[in-house]
């Protein structure tokens, strides 16, 4: 443990400013406590759902403030249960929609990972992976770092989707814009135009659409 010394960080002087060397020395002295405590509290990385930047938060925290945009962030994992009246979901955690959930009112979801097994609609912004395992008509904008449509799922993207990468093992209808690779697996069908670094279609898979620029 470094010895803890208290010294005033700013001392009155004629100019009101400390010489650079003295300021650095005092900052180094007073940052002992912070650095030591950071090592004791396990941290995890999240992506802020308001500004999209990465920040480090205590692993056990249920909320925090983004160090970039200063907005309050919910960090809890959530489940959207059947009969939920919630229309807006904001969390940097994981959101799960179980198979028995059926909601007709459009939701607005901003979260880390999202796994949809039930039936919902709306707009979805996931800083992590959006997994869809049920048949859905998504009426709003869809953005995700990674999109996975599982085998047997049939998804209509009315406003298209913007993703980094996508893996299609089910049926996707709509315009897909990806920065990286779009993979259509052997059970998959992509029906719609697609902008991507590469569209990789496995034997058995189908892509019915045109490349977009
Ligand atoms: Zn932020």
Residues 157-211 have pLDDT tens digits of 999 999 999 999 999 999 999 999 999 999 999 999 999 999 999 999 999 999 9
Query: Of residues 12 and 85, which shows the higher confidence score?
Result: 85
pTM recorded for the entire structure:
0.79
How far does the centroid of ligand 1 lie from the alpha carbon of residue 90, in Å?
A: 13
Distance 146 CA to ligand 1 centre (A): 20
- Residues having C-beta closer than 5 Å to ion ligand 1: 48, 50-51, 66, 68-69
Q: Hey, how many other C-beta atoms are within 10 angstroms of the C-beta on 135? A: 13
- How do the domains of the chain map onto residue ranges? 20-75, 76-208
Residue among 114, 119, 95, 117 nearest 161 (CA): 114
Distance 47 CA to ligand 1 centre (A): 8
pLDDT band (50, 70, 90) for residue 35: low
Specify whether the CB–CB gap between 206 and 188 falls below 8 A.
yes
Digit-coded pLDDT (tens) for 124-166: 999 999 999 999 999 999 999 999 999 999 999 999 999 999 9
| Cα 123 to middle of ligand 1, angstroms | 20
């Amino acid at each position: 443990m470094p010895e803890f010394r208290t010294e005033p960080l700013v001392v009155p002087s004629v100019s009101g400013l400390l010489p650079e060397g003295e300021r650095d020395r005092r900052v180094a002295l007073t940052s002992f406590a912070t650095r030591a405590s950071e090592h004791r509290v396990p941290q995890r990385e999240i992506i802020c759902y308001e500004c999209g930047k990465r920040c480090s938060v205590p692993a056990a925290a249920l909320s925090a403030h983004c160090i970039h945009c200063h907005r309050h962030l919910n960090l809890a994992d959530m489940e959207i249960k059947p009969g939920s009246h919630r229309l807006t979901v904001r969390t940097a955690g994981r959101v799960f929609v179980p198979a028995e959930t059926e909601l007709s009112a459009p939701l607005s979801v901003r979260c880390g990972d999202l796994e949809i097994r039930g039936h919902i609609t709306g707009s979805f912004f996931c800083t992590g992976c959006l997994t869809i395992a049920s048949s859905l008509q998504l009426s709003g904008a869809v953005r995700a770092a990674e999109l996975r449509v599982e085998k047997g799922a049939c998804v209509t993207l009315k406003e298209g989707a913007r993703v980094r990468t996508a893996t299609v093992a089910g049926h996707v209808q709509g315009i897909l814009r990806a920065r990286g690779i779009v993979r259509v697996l052997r059970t998959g069908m992509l029906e719609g135009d697609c902008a991507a670094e590469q569209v990789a279609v496995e034997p058995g898979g189908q892509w019915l659409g045109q490349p977009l620029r």
